[in-house]
Amino acid sequence: MRKYHKSEEKKLIQVVCNKCGRSLRLENGCLKEGCFSAEAAFGYFTRKDGTVHRFDLCEDCYDSIVSQFAVPVEEETVTELL
């Protein structure tokens, strides 16, 4: 879950892991640790028609969840980090 400064919409002031509730480390509005962010927009033929869900996971919670997948996540190594 992300919180932004009210007067400056783009200034990130807090990121909280939706699974464990831990606040992730920020410095000057810049996230300083691993975070998985997801957004799902539900359309027709779903039980959640017209809703959008957003959440953030710390790296430990992400690892815990994906370790339970029946089909492993696809992994690729990149040489240039953004």
Whether residue 58 has pLDDT greater than 90? yes
- Per the CB < 8 A criterion, the answer to whether 33 and 23 are in contact is no
CB under 8 Å to 24, separation ≥6 — which residues?
A: 15, 16, 17, 31, 32, 33, 35, 56, 58
pLDDT at 82 over 80: no
Instruction: Give CA–CA dist 49/10, Å, rounded.
Output: 28
Domain boundaries, the chain: 2-66
Q: What angle do CA 66, 69, 74 make, to 5 degrees?
A: 70
Q: Is the pLDDT of residue 9 over 70?
A: no
Per-residue model confidence (pLDDT) at position 27: 92
Q: CA-to-CA distance for 33 and 16, rounded, in angstroms?
A: 12
